Chains A and B, each alone.
Chain A
């Protein structure tokens, strides 16, 4: 606990534009989700529950809005689909957007949520005191709080069920905030292997649980810095730039017909997830 230590702590928090602050080298994890491919099957959500030891809270608490799904599949009904009424349904898988300038990070009184060098918005469960300010300031409301002590709850995890938990992921006790980590345990494992071989993680070497389980391949995930990665190619093809709060392509009078967009981009949180708009038959 010294002044130098204080300054070092201070240097870890964000000061200016995120990209200038922490250059992503050699990793920047990002995602692209093709809503045209999404069928709303919820496999990603189930996989996320299994991979990350997320408690299943039960019907009653779900109705209270106390569910813990890190990845939720939202359903929207588009009224204006007279020509093809059966196509009015829209799905949108929503998880932590791993914002580059995350609104949740600056407000945490104990610095329990931070930005990592590889562009993740990390949550330190042990440090969290449960003020819930991060969730209050999250525009997407993708942070989930442990309202009860789930690991000791027989209804949530019966004794025999604990055998099927993922040993790489800690369980969270009551009073802490949690959220999508982009399956950070898988990323870390892959990075360890790559480091041992003196290289960086290759494209396709690591998958998130949701990506792995998606039957239509709607989710792609990878290293945005790597020009060979699918994510990089998708972002580039859609002309979506990570550190922009307004995309140049949207400024043009008549859009170039690109589908890529980021949710609530105007809030300048610089999300790391790009969505690809659904293509409608009516528009073709």
Chain B
């Protein structure tokens, strides 16, 4: 199995990565086209919904939240693994993350942007959205700081802005390379502007390291808190099935899980589309697969904890909701979630599948399907079977508009992500060089050690 070669020339790294900005495989344009179509469909749905009212989502009383909130959690969750790879593994000096953290970080940023859209799409009066911000106004009204939804808005905004900053700062040395190798044109102007006059002096490198490390340290607690706060949206309420103490860690585990699965999917796509076979190697894929497997098992465990604590509690209403999930209208989806989330990842336990790209691609898509179902199964069943029997409603089904917007969000995300990868180097050149350098050092050391032994 080929890993990144330690004798790869630094100049070649530059050339290879810069090539990805110019001529991807044809599949790139196919993906872009379908993403654009899906996004366009969603724009149409949203215009219709904006004009007509939220009723077109087929939500009702009591099912006031539907697919939008479920998909919102899904996208927020997906954003977490970018930070895991770029910040947590950075602090742990895991070298294998270096060729892949850039796109993972981009995934974080764009999935957060997608999640943000769902907040907009969900609320009834989009045109009054700014009421939820603590902006200066002559009526002297502040938003309600008791509301988990407000914490949510703030947490997401902070996370998004820090992620963008982190992505940008980490890219500066690469932008300078792009600036220096590009022929004159709009791209050269863009890279010149963004590279902030980077020259690669010792002082610049030192400041860069400190800045990067600082933002990484800032980002880690932020990432954990963001999904804990999203969990609070549910755990802080008093509805059966939501009022669960273990929700914050459960949500964070779920977030890392779906994020890692998405990284596997995107890894495989990028590797092919941008001809990154020499950088995004199978041993790296193997490491992510193992990481995903570990997180999948944590998620499964936390699921079991939640079910057991509901089952053995004296909270009859919560227990009813759980039974409804297993046997009611949502049973196929609930069992689908269990299958995709807890059974399918067992494939990762087999060594021969850990580097089998078609299998991994299919499995990673299934895992993400499972994680999307998980979010839906958190939101919907509680509404259909709440405290008040008179309002039980097991018939409600989301409309085409709702499904269309969910579908379109994947198009929107893919669009942003694919454009990013074409405009900016999606493999970190300077960090791959570092990785290669570390390997050479390591090799030399072992060689010297061997010689000493003889």
Chain A contact residues, CB within 8 Å of chain B: 1, 5-6, 8-10, 13-14, 61, 64-67, 72, 74, 76, 92, 94, 103, 106-111, 127-133, 135-137, 139-141, 143-149, 174-177, 264, 267
Contact = CB atoms under 8 A, between A and B. Distances in A.
B147 A67 contact: no
Interface residues of B, number: 48
B124 A65 contact: no
Contact of A129 (B59, B124, B140): B124
Given A131-B122, A139-B387, A175-B125, A148 B55 contact: yes
Contacts of B233: 133
Contacts of B54: 130, 145, 147, 174-175
Contact of B142 (A9, A137, A149): A9
B132 A110 contact: yes
A110 B144 contact: yes
Nearest to A69: B61
Contact of A1 (B136, B387, B391): B136
Interface of A is mostly: loop
B124 A108 contact: no
Contacts of B128: 128-129
B53 A139 contact: no
A65 B396 contact: yes
Interface in B118-132: 122-126, 128-129, 131-132
A147 B131 contact: no
Contact of A267 (B59, B143, B387): B387
Nearest to A74: B390
Given A109-B149, A129-B128, A267-B387, A65 B60 contact: yes
Contacts of B239: 136-137, 139
Contacts of A174: 53-54, 124-125
B65, B124, B153, B393, most chain A CB atoms within 10 A = B124
Contacts of A127: 131, 141
Interface in B135-174: 136-137, 140-150, 153
A149 B61 contact: no
Contacts of A65: 60-63, 393, 396
Contact of A109 (B61, B125, B147, B238): B147
A267 B240 CA distance: 11
Interface string B38-79: 000000000000001111001111111100000000000000
A9 B137 CA distance: 13
B383 interface: yes
Given A110-B131, A130-B124, A146 B53 contact: yes
B386 interface: yes
A281 to B, nearest CB: 25
A139 B147 CA distance: 17
B89 interface: no
Nearest to B63: A65
A272 B276 CA distance: 66
B237 interface: yes
A115 to B, nearest CB: 12
A176 B364 CA distance: 40
A236 B125 CA distance: 44
A110 B137 CA distance: 13
B61 A67 contact: yes
Interface in B398-426: none
